[in-house]
Amino acid sequence: MKKKKSLLITTGVWVCLLAIWFAVTNLKLVSPILFPSPQEVWTTFTSILVHGYNGISFWQHLGITLFRLFSALILAILTAVPLGLASGMSKTIHSLVDSLIQFYRPIPPLAYYTILILWLGIGEGSKIVLLYLAAFAPIYISCVEGVHHLNQDYVLSAKSLGAGKWSIFKWVIFPGSLPDVFTGIRTAMGVSFSTLVAAEIVASTSGIGWMVIDASKYLKSSVMFMGIFILGGLGLLLDWLLQLLEHEWIFWKGKN
């Protein structure tokens, strides 16, 4: 019953926002150049879906954006999870790597993007590394916190039963940290999306983020709105999928 009520409230919020948007734009309260109507955005979307944008099909734009995003996220998960768990378990490893990650974490991605371009060129490498760095820190921090938040009674109980270090990690530390790991991945997904447009600004001719930037140069507000809605919708969809996986795989969350 609670889920149905929550779904109704969420749906109601979006319906209200859409109604306000429709009313404001169709009553000509603002310039259509600055704030296009829902019908205009939908017409633009269907046109780009059929004819593409700038000579490239919509699906190619979407595919290259998803390739950049998932390449960076997968690399971040494969490196940040083991390093974060190791840093949480070992004070030596924590001393070696934590200050470096905390140093670069608050730096805006655009501040070091130009350096990445100088080192890696204007191809896909610099874009993927930029997104990788944006995703790495949230996952790493969540893994460290996951180990620190673990109930130490479980570890002590495993030791008292004769479990070795590997067994304790495999059956106690890793499963106990997974809720925080998933939280970090969800956070990294959001950070990567916010960095995606920055990654596609420089020397790029494809991608949904690039479409938004290119459209802004020519005041194509309907294209800009369409790209923003696509990015936001993708973010919602991917976050929902992560929550679904978390619910299915980490059924013990909140029960310890």
pLDDT of residue 157: 86
Domain spans of the chain, in order of start:
1-30, 36-249
The confidence score (pLDDT) of residue 255 equals: 57
C-alpha span between 174 and 97 (Å, rounded): 20
For 162-184, what is each residue's pLDDT tens digit? Answer: 888 888 888 889 999 999 999 99
Burial of 34 (0-12, 13-18, 19+ CB in 10 A): exposed
Contacts 24+ apart (CB under 8 A), 9-17: none
How many CB atoms neighbour CB 204 within 10 A? 18
Residue 203 has pLDDT above 80, yes or no: no
Given this model, what pLDDT does residue 256 score?
52
Give dist(CA 194, CA 198) in Å, integer: 8
- The half-sphere exposure of 184 on its side-chain side, counting CA atoms within 13 A, is 26
Q: What is the pTM of this model?
A: 0.88
Look up the CATH number of domain 36-249. Answer: 1.10.3720.10
Indicate the pLDDT class of residue 254, thresholds 50, 70 and 90.
low
Residue pair 184/138 in contact (Cβ under 8 Å)? The answer is yes
User: Residues 108-125: pLDDT tens digits?
Assistant: 887 888 888 889 988 889
- How far apart are alpha carbons 86 and 169 in whole angstroms? 10
| 198 and 211 Cβ atoms separated by less than 8 Å | no
What pLDDT is recorded for position 122?
A: 83
